[in-house]
Amino acid sequence: MNMDISQKKEIELNNPDYFINRELSFLEFNRRVLAQARDKKTPLLERLFFICIASSNMDEFFEIRVSGLKQQVAYGSTQRGPDNLSPSEQLELINKAAHRLQNSQYKILNDEVLPALANEDVHFLHHDRWNRTQSIWIKKYFNRELLPVLSPVGLDPAHPFPKVLNKSLNFIITLEGKDAFGRNTGIAIVQAPRALPRLIQLPSSCASHKYDFVFLSSIIHKHAADLFPGMTVTGCYEFRATRNSDLFVSEEEAGDLMRALEGELPSRRFAEVVRLEVTNRCPQEIIDFLMHKFTLQPADVYPVDGPVNLNRMMAIPNIVDLPELQFPTFTPALQKRLIRSENIFDTIKKGDVFLHHPFQSFTPVVDFLRQASADPNVLAIKQTLYRTGDDSSIVEALIAAAHAGKEVTVVIELRARFDEEENIELANELQNAGVHVSYGVVGHKTHAKMILVIRREGRQLKRYVHLGTGNYHAKTARLYTDLGMLSSDTAITDDVQKVFQQLTALGKAGKLKKILQAPFTLHKSMMEFIQIETENALKGETARIIAKMNSLVEPEIIKALYRASQAGVKIDLIVRGICCLRPGIKGVSDNIQVRSIIGRFLEHSRIFYFYNAGDIQLFGSSADWMDRNFFRRIETCFPIEDKRMKKKVVKECLLNYLSDNTQSWILHADGSYKKSILAGSKAKSAQQSLLKNYTE
């Protein structure tokens, strides 16, 4: 009888109404990002930055997610996810939501942010607002800097419609008259080279304000006639095509993954177009012409009221010297243990070191590698790299270690999306320095964040590790919240060495003692921990789950959380981005609350808490609760066992965020998010409180 009830509940939990669509959840996330630009409490230049972030997010969404759905439709796929929406149904809903989002984005820019910037003497001048002095300077600039590098293409049988680069700035120009050869089809295309700046600051000699900028598009629009001497320009309209950018490499058939990726990368520039952005001044017949050339439908066209690429405005906060319009600068804190220590290995031996970025400095991670590279007792260094950024101190330390004669092994994930080219260059640079480079395991991205240092101490070899939730990227370590741990715990270091054996060699590396690893034990262990809380709740005992992550998608985990909620487990989920779980469903998820924190820093840490009848289990992880992280990636999830640090992490990274009432958005059963309400309470920002505590 009990089995029948259990089966009935399982069938009920497969109800599509209990699952939020992944793509629509992402668009809800981007709406929350855009809300930061609308919030007048956000510093003005940061509001502009959030608009640019929202624009960049949408680019990637169309390049990867929308393009994938379009491919499914083209192939006739009827595959449905837990929400039971077909690819075509998803595209229809996405188009409606994405158009609303874009309209909102440009409305905030034009009606709120740009006028507010003008009040601060930062102006973006349309070509009909240039005075005579400015017009003369811009004309000279056009002749000197732009005219020599622009290559207009008049469309005729000898000049077909050109291949426009992914996300590049282009102009379609209508013409009257005939050229020297008697030709005129009435249409030409001008492509703006990537090397040209999209924003040009006017010099003080002709500026009317402290900061005057003109868009490249305005200059080309104004001087388009100079590109077609003897002809009449009747219209000039900017457009931008977004292409499918999901690389396909058959790893089983590729003999050399790096060469296969190098061969595939150029296709990203000219793959199938999935979105057309065009100025809202463009006549319908021109839009129809472009739709035909790109094989698009009306829903794929996004008219814009402003620049077609807002991402280029991201440079403005770095150009204008107005610090009062930005978030206050801060210096990340450094632990006293590390300040007093001359030898980081001696410090780690005395106890695990936990780092909470960006509130605490990323420098100890770099120092860990630098000291290892210079220490004559260090024999070997192993590390995973996913994203590093330019001029990486981490990479410099690894090269220095190799030059010092140490055995250095680096596992580089070549397929880190949109960083593939940089990672190929990085792999070559490291190999040239004598570093042993591998690319992980075929069919699985290496997403784990690990460093292993092997050091001779007397007659023994001692191992030290760093494990983290974020990439080894010094710049993002100041922008993303992440957790890191330096440890010499024998079981932990032994586990890390076994994982590296898996990544660089063949054969089974053996069972891990403490670390949970995807794709082997992580999903199973999370299910077991949730089940333990469920059983304890059914016995009338205290049961509690708190989980912080970027995304929650995997359906079996969601159903396990539903069962836990039904049993009475109190569940708090802090999910920054995509969340497919639907909280607040009576009898299913009424014990689950989901919140998203959107603020100055990108919430990136993954932390999992299980009450476990008072013997709290706490983990930091490189993995979100998504199918790809559980089953198609190499991930590590490490226990936090030191009692003092466990208490600190729970307080700072979990309870602190659950009490946030200024940057917290609460997910409702209908899939919408509402900003948390103060309701007479004292304002509390989790990020600001951590900044204050650490910087003071």
Which pLDDT tens digit goes with each residue over 88-133?
999 999 999 999 999 999 999 999 999 999 999 999 999 999 999 9
Per-residue confidence (pLDDT) for residue 75, from 0 to 100: 86
Measure CA of the first residue to CA of the last residue in the chain; give whole Å.
61
Whether the predicted pLDDT of 39 surpasses 70: yes
CA 544, 549, 555: angle at the middle one, nearest 5? Answer: 80
pLDDT range class, residue 248, cuts 50, 70, 90: very low
Mean pLDDT (whole number) for 1-6: 38
Residue 234, token pair as written in the block = 């009747």
Instruction: Taking residues 502-517, report their average pLDDT.
Output: 85
For the chain, what percent of residues have pLDDT higher than 90?
A: 77
Of the residues 123, 356, 447, 604, which is catalytic?
A: 447
**327, pLDDT greater than 80:** yes
Residue 588 sits at φ, ψ, to 5 deg, of -120, -55
**Confidence check: pLDDT of 137 > 60:** yes
Q: How confident is the model at residue 680 (pLDDT cuts 50, 70, 90)?
A: low
What tokens does 329 get? 């600068």
Looking at residue 419, its pLDDT comes to 56
Closest CA to 466 of 493, 491, 485, 494: 485
Residues of the chain by 3-state class (helix, strand, coil), percent to 5: 40, 20, 35
Q: Render pLDDT for 598-643 as a digit per residue (tens, 0 to 9).
A: 999 999 999 999 999 999 999 999 999 999 999 999 999 999 999 9
Query: Rounded to 5 degrees, what are φ and ψ at 155?
Result: -80, 125
- For 352, the 3-state DSSP assignment is coil
Alpha helices in 354-489 (DSSP H): 363-374, 393-403, 420-432
633 three-state secondary structure? strand
Decide: residue 615, CB within 10 A, 0-12 exposed, 13-18 middle, 19+ buried: exposed
Q: What pTM was computed for the model? A: 0.92
Query: Which has more confidence, 144 or 418?
Result: 144
3 state DSSP class of 84:
coil
pLDDT for res 250: 40
444 is catalytic: no
pLDDT of amino acid 441: 80
Domains annotated for the chain, with CATH where assigned, are 6-101 (1.20.58.310), 134-324 (3.30.1840.10), 336-514 (3.30.870.10), 518-695 (3.30.870.10)
Question: How high is the pLDDT of residue 79?
Answer: 85
The H or E element that residue 665 is part of is strand 664-667
- The alpha carbon of residue 209 and the mean position of all alpha carbons in its chain are separated, in whole angstroms, by 36
d(CA 308, CA 164): 15
Q: What is the pLDDT of residue 417?
A: 58
When pLDDT is averaged across residues 494-511 and rounded to a whole number, the result is 86
Please state which of the ranges 233-242, 248-257, 677-686 shows the lowest mean pLDDT: 248-257
Checking if the pLDDT of 8 tops 50, the result is no
Q: Read off the tokens for 212.
A: 């005057």
Rg, Å, the chain Cα set:
28
What is the helix (H) or strand (E) element at residue 690, kind and residue range? Answer: helix 686-695
Distance CA 48, CA 124 (A): 13
Query: What one-letter code names the amino acid at 131?
Result: N
Average pLDDT over residues 568-596: 97
pLDDT computed for residue 442 by the predictor: 74
Please give the pLDDT value at position 413. Answer: 80
Q: Tell me, what's the pLDDT at 440?
A: 74
Query: CA dihedral in degrees (570, 576, 581, 582; nearest 10)?
Result: 80
What pLDDT score does 255 carry? 44
Helix (H), strand (E) at residue 676: none
Structural tokens at position 346: 């001696």
Q: Are strands 480-487 and 516-518 parallel, antiparallel or unpaired?
A: unpaired
Longest dimension (CA), the chain: 90
pLDDT at residue 236, rounded to an integer: 96
For residues 353 and 345, is the Cβ–Cβ distance under 8 A?
Answer: no
Q: What is the pLDDT of residues 345-364, one digit of tens each?
A: 999 999 999 999 999 999 99
**Mean pLDDT of all residues in the chain?**
90
Q: Which two tokens stand for residue 145?
A: 């800097």
Distances in Å between the alpha carbon of 620 and those of 71, 606, 635? 36, 6, 11
Rounded distance between C-alpha atoms, residue 424 and residue 266, angstroms: 14
Q: How many residues does the chain have?
A: 696
pLDDT, tens digit, 9 for 90 and up, residues 371-414:
999 999 999 999 998 887 777 899 999 999 999 999 999 998 86
Can you read off the two tokens belonging to residue 418? 């949109």
Please report, to the nearest 10 degrees, the dihedral formed by the alpha carbons of residues 450, 245, 305, 209 taken in order: 50
Question: What share of the chain in percent tops pLDDT 70?
Answer: 92
Q: Which two tokens stand for residue 133?
A: 């002095």
Name beta bridge partners: 235. 174
pLDDT of residue 261: 38
| Residue 416 pLDDT > 60 | no
Residue 158, pLDDT score: 62
Q: Rounded distance, CA 219 to CA 242, Å? A: 23
DSSP 466: E
Is 223 within 8 Å of 216 (Cβ atoms)? no
Cα torsion angle, 401, 404, 406, 409, sign: positive
Number of Cβ within a 10 Å radius of residue 420? 20
Q: Is the pLDDT of residue 256 over 60?
A: no
Q: What is the mean pLDDT of residues 2-25?
A: 73
The pLDDT assigned to 388 comes to 79
Residue type, 492: I
Question: In 144-244, where do the E strands start and end?
Answer: 153-154, 170-176, 187-191, 199-201, 211-215, 232-243
Strand partners, 240: 277
Residues 6 or more apart in contact with residue 461 via CB below 8 angstroms: 379, 454, 455
> 15-24, 170-179, 241-250, 319-328 — which is least confidently predicted?
241-250
